[in-house]
Amino acid sequence: MAGKVRYLDSRPDEQLRGITMESSAVSLYFRVLKKNKEDPNSEPEIREHLINLIDSPGHIDFSSEVSTASRLCDGAVILVDVVEGVCSQTITVLRQSWVDNLKPILVLNKIDRLITELKLTPAEAYLHLSKVIEQVNSIIGSFFAGERMQENLLWREKLEKSLNQDEEYIEKDDQDIYFSPEKNNVIFASAIDGWGFNISQFSAFYEKKLGMKRENLQKVLWGDYYLDPKTKKIITSKGLKGRSLKPLFVSFVLDNIWTVYENALINKNLEKLEKIIQSLNLKISQRDLKSRDTKYLLQSIFGQWLPVSTAVLITIIEKLPSPLESQKSRIPTILNTAPGSELINEDLKQAMLACDRNGLTSAYVSKMVSIPESELPKNQTVALTADEMIERGRAARAAAAKAAEAARKFQEENSKKDDFEIVDSNNNFDDPFGEDIFETEEEDQEEEEAELAKEVLIGYARVYSGCLKVGSELTVLGPKYDPLRPNEHIHKVTISELYLLMGRELIALKEVPAGNIVGIGGLAGKVLKNGTLISPDITGVNLAGITLNAPPIVKVALEPVNPTQMDKLEKGLQLLNAADPCAQTFLQDTGEHILATAGELHLERCLKDLRERFAGIEISVSNPLIPYRETIVSKPEMNPPKFPELGRGCSELKIANISILFKVRPLPNSVTDFLIENQNTIHSLINKVVKAKSEENSNLESGDEDSDVVDDGVGINPVIAATDFKKKLQELFSQATNENKKDPFNWDGYVDKITSFGPKRTGPNILFDLKEHTLRRIFASSNTKNFEFEDSILNGFQLATYEGPLAQEFVQGIAVFVEKIEVIKDEDSEQKDEFKNLAGRILTSTRDCIHRGFLDWSPRLMLAMYTCDIQTSAEVLGKVYAVVQKRRGHIMSEEMKEGTPFFTIEARIPVVEAFGFSEDIRKKTSGAASPQLVFAGYEIIDEDPFWVPTTVEELEELGEIADKANIARKYMNAIRKRKGLFVDEKVIQNAEKQRTLKKD
C-alpha cells in the first residue's frame, strides 16, 4: 500500500492535496535475521529494532516543521525527485541536517518517471542518476568547504594570539560525508510503485551466480566497472579497448527493472512475465497476471521482489547510528550552541552523552501538537470480548423489560384519572411569550458551543537521558532561559500522560527511557512552542535554540463575523499560536488581531484550523499585510536641499537653550547587507553593553517581545566575535570610501563613533556620535554621560527608524550623524522653565529631524521579494513568462536541465503580488509547471514615490500626478490608507460632467 495509504498524513487537507503539512511520528518494530559469518550453518541471530520515524513536509512554507523535527533525530532520510533534481528545498533540508550533525541517507525517488515519462534507456538513466548524486554531493561539499574555511580562520587567529607557534592545523577527513551507492547510503526507489533497493541487496542476489564475495561485488556494482563476456572478469574502463560494454549497474540492475516495466506496464507480455516471475521465485496468482489493471500487477511483482520498506529500514539500521552512538557526537554540538553551556550540571551532561536511562532526566520538546480530546486513548472505546458482549446484551434486555413494565403501569394509572382536573389557584400558567424563549436561546447557544471539540496540547519530545514516568515532577526551561539567571523563565510541571506516537493514533505508556521520541501530556500553559525538561533542582541548559528557516512574512488581520464571539477568536488564536511552530499571533497597537504565517499555503491551513477546530466561528480576514522597507538613495535628479547653508540631509533642532544638528545620508550597500546578515552578533554585542552598565538594569530581551514579527531571518549568520565584527565593518567602510566616486564621503574612523543601531537596537541603520565623545559609544572601553538628554536622542533615533516618513514602515540603510550639540548657559532659567517635559520634546523632535533629513534625499520603498524556482517544459515556457511578468516579477536565469526536456527558471516576484501565483501558473500551464517560493529579502523600487511630471510631454502622457504610472506611489498610498494615514490624492475628478472613454 506504499504511496496510497499516506498513513502519516492524518489531516483531511493533506490527503486532498497529496502533500505533507505537519510533521508526524510513528514507531516501527523491525526484526532482522542476521547470519553468523564465522559459522554459516548455525541458526541466524534475531536482532530487534525500534525505529522512530518522523515524516516532515517538503513544501517551503512548512520548513519550520523540518527544523523542529531534526533536533529530535539521529539521522535523516532525504528524498530527491530524480526528474526535478536538486531544488531549493533540497538544499534547505541538506543544510538543516548538516547544522544539526545528522547522518543522512539519500533516497532517489520516482525512478519510474525516467521509464514512463522521459522514456530514457537504462544507460541514459544511469548517467542521469550519477549526475543527481553529483549535484547533491556538491552541496554537501560546499558546506564542508565553508566550515573548513571558518575553522582555518579561527586556527590562524588562535595561532597569532598564542605563544605556541608549533601547533598544527588538523585537517578533517571528508570521505564519510558524501553519498555513494557502493557505501549503501543511497537507495533507488519508486514509492508509488512500491519498490526500492540499495546496492547491497543486488550484490547478495548475484553473489552465488557470479561466484564472488558480497563485499567485493558491492564495490563494483556502481561506477565504471564492466563484465568481460570472454573472461567473465570485472574490468575497468581502461580494459574496454574500444568495446562498447554496459556498466554492471546497467546490465545487472537497471536492465532487469526496465524489462519488468516493458512487459508488465508498457507492452504487456504474459509469456515473458511468467519467465521473469519464475526466475525470481515470486508467487503471483494467475488472476493477477491476467488482470487488466497493469499497475496493480507491476506493484505486486515489485512488492515481492524489491519492497521499498525493507530497503529503507535495512539501510536505516545499518547506516544510521543508534542514540547511544549519536549522542556522543551530537550532544557537544547542541550544548556548544546553547548559552551558558559551561554552567550545566556535570552529572546531567554525562548522562546526556551516554544516553543513560538511569541518570538525571533531560528531554527536549520540539513542538506542541493540538489533538481533539476525543482521540486520546482514555476517551476511546475499547473492543469487548465475546463474554463481555453477551453480558452487556443480557443487561440491556433486562433494562428494556423493566422500562416496558414501568411504562405499562404508568399508562394504567393515567387511564383511571378523569379527563378534567382542578387547577390550583396558586399555580401560574406558563407564559408562552415569557422566559421559555430566552431559555431556549441559551440552550441553543450552549449546544453550539458544545459542538466544538475540546483540544488538548501534546508535546513532541526526545528523551536525551533518564526515564520519563507518568506523575513525575520536572522543571521546564523556556526558550529564554539563561543559566546565569537560574530562577527566571522556569516552571514546575507534572507529567500527566505519556504516549507512543503512531501517526494519527496514540498509545498510552507508563514510562519512556532515554533515546526515544514520545508524546507528553500536561505541558499546556507551561511550554509555548518548544522547551527543555530536566530533573528538578539542578542547573540545566536551554536546548530550544532553533532558528526558523522560513520567517513568518505574510500577516493578516482577523476579526469574527459576529462581534460577540471575540472571546472565542482570542482563545482560538492562543491555541493556534501554541500548536503551530511557525505561526505567530499578536495584538497590534490599533487593536487588530494579527496572524503571521510563512506563506500562502501556511496561511490557508492556519485559517482552516481556526475556523474548524480552535475557534469554531466564522472569521473575517483582511488583505495580506506585507512588510515593506524605506530607504534613501543619491540620484543626480534630486531636488535642491531644503537648507543649502547646512547641506543635504541636515536638520537642526532648537528647543529652549538646546540646539542639536543632525545629518542623514545613505549607508553603503555593502555595510547594510553586512548588518542584516549579522543581526545576531549585534544583538549579543548590545546585550553585553547593557549588562556592563551598572547604573541601569534594562533587559534587551523585552525588545524581542515586540508585537512586530522580525522578518529579516533570511541568511542570518551565526554570532561572531566583537573584534571580528568591528574589523570587518571598518574594512567595508574603507572600501566604500575608495569606491564611491559619484558621492564622495570619507567613512574612515566612524566605526569607533557608533552609538546605536536601529530599529530595535539591532537593525541596519547607524547613529554616529560627535568627535568630542558626547554620547555613549558601543565600542568604547568606558562611557560617561556627558549630555543630559542622551537617552532622548537615542530613543528618537529608534523611533525614526522604526516608523519611516513614507508609510511608517521599518527604515533600512541610513546613517544619522550628530553634528553639533549646544547647550546655551543662561543664568536666567525662565526660558527653560517654559518648556516642560523637555526630554519628551527632544525625543519627538529628534524623530522629526531625522525624517526631514531622510526626505531631503531621494526616498525609496523596498518590496519584500520571493525567489521563485520553476521547472517546466518548452511547450509552456511562454505562459510561465507571461504569468511572472503579470505579477511584476523578473526572470533572473533560465537553463535547460541536461538529459531532460525541462527548463529551470529562476525569477523574483514581489510578495505582495504573489498571492494566487502558484494556482495561476498551474492553471495557465495545465499543471505542467509548479513554482517553489522562498523569501529572499527586500528589493528597491527604483522610483521616487513623490515624483510628478514636469515637462509638457510627461503631463500629456501621464497627467498631473502620474498616479497610474508611479508604482511606488501606488504602494505607498495603499499602505497609508490601510494604516489610516493622510493620503494626498484626488477622490473625485471632473465630477460635474460625465466622461466617456476613447474607443480604440
Quick one: pLDDT band at residue 3, thresholds 50, 70, 90? Answer: low
Strand, coil or helix: what is 538?
Answer: coil
**CATH number of the structural domain spanning residue 610:** 3.30.70.870
Domain that holds residue 471: 338-375+452-534
Residue 423 pLDDT:
45
CB-based contact 19:57 (threshold 8 Å): yes
Residue 797 pLDDT:
95
Position of cell 401560574? 428
639 shares a domain with 566: no
Lowest mean pLDDT among 193-197, 355-359, 820-824: 820-824
Q: Where are the beta strands (DSSP E) in 281-389?
A: 362-372
Q: What is the mean pLDDT of residues 178-192?
A: 93
The share of the chain scoring above pLDDT 70, in percent, equals: 86
Q: Length of the chain, please?
A: 1000
594 shares a domain with 642: no
**CATH number of the structural domain spanning residue 289:** 3.90.1430.10
> Residue 614 corresponds to which amino acid?
F
Task: Rounding to the nearest 10 degrees, give the CA dihedral for residues 643, 649, 654, 655.
Answer: 140
pLDDT score of 539 more than 60: yes
C-alpha cell at 911: 510578495
Residue 551 pLDDT:
67
For 325-356, the pLDDT digits (tens) are: 999 988 888 888 777 778 888 899 999 999 99
What distance in Å separates the CA atoms of residue 641 and residue 619, rounded to the nearest whole number? 50
Pairing mode of beta strands 814-823, 765-768: parallel
922 shares a domain with 953: no
Query: Is the model more confident about 378 or about 47?
Result: 47
What distance in Å separates the CA atoms of residue 59 and residue 64, rounded to the nearest whole number? 10
966 shares a domain with 930: no
Q: Looking at residue 614, what DSSP letter applies? A: I
Residue 381 pLDDT:
60
Quick one: pLDDT band at residue 833, thresholds 50, 70, 90? Answer: low
pLDDT score of 240 more than 60: yes
Q: Looking at residue 344, what DSSP letter applies? A: S
Residue 440 pLDDT:
45
Domain boundary among 319, 346, 366: 319
Residue 835 pLDDT:
64
CB-based contact 568:455 (threshold 8 Å): no
In a domain, 7, yes or no: no
Residues contacting 43, CB < 8 A, separation 6+: none
pLDDT score of 989 more than 60: no
C-alpha cell at 985: 490624492
Lowest mean pLDDT among 159-173, 249-263, 858-872, 899-913: 159-173
C-alpha cell at 238: 581502461
pLDDT score of 919 more than 90: no
Cα angle vertex 361, ends 357, 363, to 5°?
Answer: 100
Quick one: pLDDT band at residue 437, thresholds 50, 70, 90? Answer: very low
Q: What is the mean pLDDT of residues 586-602?
A: 87
In a domain, 232, yes or no: yes
Instruction: Choose among 891, 869, 874: nearest CA to 925.
Output: 874
646 shares a domain with 602: no
In a domain, 272, yes or no: yes
Query: Is the model more confident about 440 or about 30?
Result: 30
Residue 845 pLDDT:
93
How many CA atoms lie within 13 Å of 227's alpha carbon, on the beta-carbon side? 13
pLDDT score of 431 more than 60: no
Cα 228–chain centre separation: 52
In a domain, 635, yes or no: yes
Residues contacting 193, CB < 8 A, separation 6+: 3, 112, 295, 298, 299, 302
Domain boundary among 625, 645, 671: 625
In a domain, 437, yes or no: no
Residue 237 pLDDT:
83
CB-based contact 595:381 (threshold 8 Å): no
Helix (H), strand (E) counts: the chain: 30, 33
Query: Is the model more confident about 37 or about 271?
Result: 271
What distance in Å separates the CA atoms of residue 263 and residue 270, rounded to the nearest whole number? 7
pLDDT score of 729 more than 50: yes
219 shares a domain with 89: yes
pLDDT score of 436 more than 60: no
Instruction: Choose among 867, 626, 678, 713: nearest CA to 89.
Output: 867
**CATH number of the structural domain spanning residue 357:** 2.40.30.10
819 shares a domain with 774: yes
In a domain, 809, yes or no: yes
pLDDT score of 132 more than 90: yes
793 shares a domain with 923: no
Residue 166 pLDDT:
62
Position of cell 519512556? 512
Quick one: pLDDT band at residue 781, thresholds 50, 70, 90? Answer: confident
Q: What is the mean pLDDT of residues 801-825?
A: 92
pLDDT score of 807 more than 90: yes
In a domain, 888, yes or no: yes
pLDDT score of 213 more than 70: yes
Cis peptide leading into residue 764 (ω within 30°): no
Instruction: Choose among 600, 544, 577: nearest CA to 60.
Output: 600
Q: For the chain, give the mean pLDDT.
A: 83
Cα angle vertex 130, ends 125, 136, to 5°?
Answer: 130
886 shares a domain with 930: yes
Query: Is the model more confident about 345 or about 898?
Result: 345
**CATH number of the structural domain spanning residue 802:** 3.30.230.10
Residue 697 pLDDT:
43
C-alpha cell at 763: 537593525
For 327, the enclosing helix (H) or strand (E) is helix 323-337
Residue 999 pLDDT:
45
The CA distances from residue 292 to 297, 322, 380, in Å, are 9, 45, 42
C-alpha cell at 855: 526626505
For 676-704, the pLDDT digits (tens) are: 988 888 888 887 766 555 444 444 333 33
669 shares a domain with 635: yes
C-alpha cell at 809: 514602515
Residue 503 pLDDT:
82
Quick one: pLDDT band at residue 45, thresholds 50, 70, 90? Answer: confident
Residue 80 pLDDT:
93
Pairing mode of beta strands 75-81, 531-534: unpaired
187 shares a domain with 275: yes
DSSP string, 253-302: IIHHHHHHHIIIIIS--HHHHHHHHHHTT----HHHHT-S-HHHHHHHHH
140 shares a domain with 266: yes
For 277-301, the pLDDT digits (tens) are: 888 888 888 888 888 888 888 989 9
For 379-391, the pLDDT digits (tens) are: 766 556 677 777 8
Residue 690 pLDDT:
62
Instruction: Choose among 577, 597, 708: nearest CA to 60.
Output: 597
Structurally, the chain folds into a number of domains equal to 6
Domain boundary among 474, 499, 534: 534
In a domain, 383, yes or no: no
